[in-house]
Amino acid sequence: MGDREHYLVRAKELLQENIVITKQAQVYETKPEGNVQQPLFLNTVIECTTEVVPERLLFFCQYVEFRLGRTRTVPQGPRTIDIDVLLYKDVVVNESYLVIPHPRLHERTFVLQPLCDIAPGLVHPVLGKTMQQLYEEHKKLSVPD
């Protein structure tokens, strides 16, 4: 919602309070998932370094979302910003509040495409396939728009 480009820039600025951005994918405009009527989304992926453990990184990302006006009223509904922790080195986390790698990472073009921009050879720590392999497999299974 709102000035999408501004929210992406501002989110990166705020995230840098606890991370160092090492790479960023290009920004893609995509259709929203689900049945909620809303504008197109902007999606990108960043690679970063941090000393923050995964759980605290999630809470920090949620704090950045809050600072940028995110409210959680409708699941998958319109929002100012949505920040997910997709991967964290080769760490696997399976808690009720946090799953790493992101459980739907391999099912989402809007995640896989920008991931391939910056790390096509990165191996998914559970599936054992590279991001490029997952993207190619997903494209074969996807229904065209």
Q: Look up the pTM and report it.
A: 0.86
- Kindly list the catalytic residues: 70, 79, 82, 84
pLDDT of residue 41: 85
pLDDT of residue 77: 54
Which amino acid does the sequence have at 85? V
Tell me which fold the domain 4-103 belongs to: Alpha-Beta Plaits (3.30.70)
Task: Return averaged pLDDT per consecutive 10 residues of the chain, 145 residues in all.
Answer: 86 94 95 74 94 95 88 62 92 96 93 96 97 94 63
